[in-house]
Amino acid sequence: MRIVVSIKRYNPEKKPQAYTQEFSLDVKPTDRVLDVLVSIKENQDSSLTFRKSCAHGVCGSDAMIINGQERLACKTLVKDVAQVDNDRIEVEPLRSMPIQRDLAVDQGVFFDNYRKIDPFLRPKEKPPKEEYRQSQKEREQFEDPTKCILCSACYSSCPVIEAGEKKFVGPAASAQAARFAFDTRDVGIAGRLEELDTPDGVAACDNHFNCTKVCPRGIKITKNINTLKKSIKKHKES
Ligand code: SF4
Ligand code: FES
């Protein structure tokens, strides 16, 4: 089938404003949007810039907006976003992060916010000689957010971040805050209140659920945030 791919382009060295460029090409419905972008770069315009690495939904490099929604280009098939000949696929860079060039954004602000929640285990006791023991149930409490691949799709989709009125750390950072706060090996909520109980922390989430809808790993981000909010409240009342 033949499709038209409309790509938002930006190269500050050549043109101060972003613009849209269209490419027409033959593809298979089972091609991935990443394959389409690679084909455009190899055969039509070698200056087209985007990030990719694993091409299998693992590294989180190629999150972008495809037909208005944050997706991984390597996990989106042409048939998911175009059905008949001459259908258009619109591709744009993620929101709320500065564009470096074309579809590549500077994720610095995403990672700066991520670091604010101390995204590593802070052991509550001296590590044992062998391994930490945890029951299956204890492990399940924080399983969901461990699947994060740091793609920033949730950050881009968040209306609280886009509005810019609150300095929210963002959905991925909040979900990781839950990941460590609910790990029985960690100091937990009591030892993390300084990072978690701030106006810019999980409290800033307004429950729009956009992050949960776009997360390519299916993480129940908003649910994790709400559970953490309740646990912080309970801890402060006890
Ligand atoms: S929580 Fe989901 S959408 Fe957000 S960075 Fe992690 S994998 Fe990407
Ligand atoms: S290229 Fe690694 S997730 Fe798509």
Q: What is the pLDDT of residues 68-91, one digit of tens each?
A: 999 999 999 999 999 999 999 999
Q: What is the pLDDT of residues 193-213, one digit of tens each?
A: 988 899 999 999 999 999 999
Give domain status of residue 100, yes or no.
Answer: no
Report the pocket of ligand 1 as residue ranges, CB < 6 Å. 60, 148-154, 171-172, 175, 215-217, 219, 221
Q: Are residues 121 and 232 in the same domain?
A: yes
Nearest ligand to the CA atom of 50 = 2
Among 36, 72, 152, which is best to mutate for testing ligand 2, by the most ligand atoms less than 8 A from CB?
Answer: 72
For residue 166, pLDDT beyond 90: no
Q: Are residues 118 and 221 in the same domain?
A: yes
Q: Are residues 144 and 182 in the same domain?
A: yes
For residue 128, pLDDT beyond 90: no
- Report residue 66's pLDDT band, with 50, 70 and 90 as the boundaries: very high
Of 37, 65, 94, the domain-final residue: 94
Query: What are φ and ψ of residue 109, in 5° steps?
Result: -65, -35
Among 37, 50, 58, which is best to mutate for testing ligand 2, by the most ligand atoms less than 8 A from CB?
Answer: 58
Q: Are residues 220 and 130 in the same domain?
A: yes
Nearest ligand to the CA atom of 69 = 1
CATH label of the domain that carries residue 88 = 3.10.20.30
CA dist 230 → 17, 47, 126, 219, 233 (Å): 45, 49, 29, 19, 5
Judged on CB neighbours under 10 Å (0-12, 13-18, 19+), 222 is buried
Average pLDDT, the chain: 96
Give domain status of residue 138, yes or no.
Answer: yes
Q: Are residues 46 and 78 in the same domain?
A: yes
How much is the pLDDT for 188?
Answer: 92
Q: Are residues 112 and 61 in the same domain?
A: no
The b-or-e profile of 13-47 (16+ CB within 10 A means b, else e) is: eeeeeeeeeebeeebeeebbbbbbbbbbbeeeeee
Q: Are residues 133 and 216 in the same domain?
A: yes
Q: Which domain holds residue 89?
A: 2-94
Q: Is 187 in the pocket of ligand 2 (CB under 6 A)?
A: no
CA dist 125 → 95, 121, 186, 192 (Å): 41, 11, 8, 15
For residue 96, pLDDT beyond 90: yes
CATH label of the domain that carries residue 203 = 1.10.1060.10
- Report residue 30's pLDDT band, with 50, 70 and 90 as the boundaries: very high
| Number of separate helices (H) and strands (E) present in the chain | 10, 7
Of 94, 124, 155, the domain-final residue: 94
For residue 127, pLDDT beyond 90: no
Q: Are residues 88 and 132 in the same domain?
A: no
Distance (angstroms) between ligand 2 centre and the Cα of 152 equals: 12
Q: Is 61 in the pocket of ligand 2 (CB under 6 A)?
A: yes
Domain count across the chain: 2
Q: Are residues 77 and 154 in the same domain?
A: no
Distance (angstroms) between ligand 2 centre and the Cα of 151 equals: 9
Distance (angstroms) between ligand 2 centre and the Cα of 3 equals: 23
Q: Are residues 116 and 214 in the same domain?
A: yes
Nearest ligand to the CA atom of 177 = 1
Of 39, 60, 94, the domain-final residue: 94
Minimum CA distance residue for ligand 1 atom 8: 151
Q: Are residues 112 and 172 in the same domain?
A: yes
Q: Are residues 154 and 59 in the same domain?
A: no
Give domain status of residue 102, yes or no.
Answer: no
Atom of ligand 1 nearest to the CA of 157: 3
